[in-house]
């Protein structure tokens, strides 16, 4: 089956992002396909490479990046939500006159149309949020 995943909460504050990650891993382990993981609301905070949790805790951001690399996942961060919350890639930095970027590897910033497309293309769109 072809899944799409929507992550609506940030890392650490809510378990939603952990659960989404475990779900994604389980989906792939069962041989299903993930069309796209889309990050919205505070979920965009899953994509900052500046996250530095204590050493004995899970690194939620790196975990997503690694999963994306291993399975060639398409992980998309909503541009409007990212702009509000200061998640920046090279293009956004230039466009908005910022002096830094913080988008973690494996993520890309794009529009909400990518979420709607995921809803259209996937057999199931699974939402993880509050």
86 lines the binding site for other proteins (CB under 8 A) = no
| 127 counts as binding other proteins under rule CB under 8 A | yes
Give me the least distance between CB of 78 and other proteins, in Å please: 8
* Segment interacting with other proteins (CB under 8 A) among 13-21, 45-53, 68-76, 106-114: 106-114
Report in angstroms how near the CB of residue 15 gets to other proteins at its nearest. Answer: 16
- Among 48, 42, 49, which Cα is nearest to 6's? 42
The runs of H, that is alpha helices, within the chain are 16-29, 60-71, 79-85, 90-95, 113-121
8 is an interface residue for other proteins by CB under 8 A: yes
Q: Which one of 41, 46, 61, 106 is in contact with other proteins (CB under 8 A)?
A: 41
In angstroms, rounded to a whole number, what is the distance separating the alpha carbons of residues 66 and 70? 6
CB contact set of 60 (below 8 Å; sequence gap of 6+): 11, 12, 17, 18, 21, 46, 51, 53
Active site positions, annotated: 78
Residues near other proteins, by CB under 8 A: 6, 8, 40-41, 80-81, 84, 111-113, 115-117, 119-120, 125, 127, 129-130
């Amino acid at each position: 089956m072809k899944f799409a995943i929507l992550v609506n909460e940030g890392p650490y504050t809510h378990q939603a992002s952990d659960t989404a990650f475990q779900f994604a891993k389980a989906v792939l382990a069962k041989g299903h396909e993930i069309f796209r993981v889309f990050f919205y609301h505070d979920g965009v905070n899953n994509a900052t490479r500046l996250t530095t949790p204590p050493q004995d805790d899970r690194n939620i951001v790196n975990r997503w990046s690694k999963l994306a690399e291993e399975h060639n996942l398409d992980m998309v961060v909503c541009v409007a939500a990212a702009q509000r919350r200061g998640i920046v890639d090279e293009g956004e930095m230039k466009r908005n006159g910022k002096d830094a970027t913080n988008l973690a590897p494996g993520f890309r910033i794009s529009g909400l149309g990518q979420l709607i497309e995921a809803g259209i293309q996937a057999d199931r769109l699974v939402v993880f949020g509050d």
